[in-house]
């Protein structure tokens, strides 16, 4: 990532891709999720044990973390919209 490109991002002239944010997160030693939220790619979320576990898991890639976070958030929002609680339900 070049200095001029970073400058354009900082000034709001360009919007970085998820891949660029991942590279920046690695260089800054922060979670990519933090930068995704700042860039508007990911909605800020309430802290949860599930989200924390996904973000801190070193066995999966940043892209895999993003997919899991998106999927989890989608399920939570769907359940909230449907008025379903957080109780565990045995599908079988």
- Domain definitions of the chain by residue range: 3-81
pLDDT at 8 (0 to 100): 92
Residue 44 to residue 65: CA distance in whole angstroms:
15
Between CA 72 and CA 75, with CA 74 as vertex, the angle to 5 degrees is: 65
- Condensed to tens digits (0 to 9), the pLDDT of residues 30-89 reads 777 778 777 777 777 666 788 878 888 889 988 898 889 889 888 888 888 887 655 555
**Cα(40)–Cα(57) distance, rounded to whole angstroms?**
23
């Amino acid at each position: 990532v070049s200095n001029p490109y970073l400058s354009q991002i900082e000034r709001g002239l360009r919007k970085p891709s998820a891949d660029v944010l991942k590279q920046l997160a690695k260089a800054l030693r922060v979670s990519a999720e933090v930068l995704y939220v700042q860039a508007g790619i990911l909605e800020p979320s309430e802290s949860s044990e599930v989200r924390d576990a996904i973000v801190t898991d070193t066995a999966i890639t940043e892209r895999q973390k993003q997919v899991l976070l998106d999927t989890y958030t989608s399920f939570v929002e769907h359940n909230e919209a449907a008025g379903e609680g957080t109780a565990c339900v045995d599908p079988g």
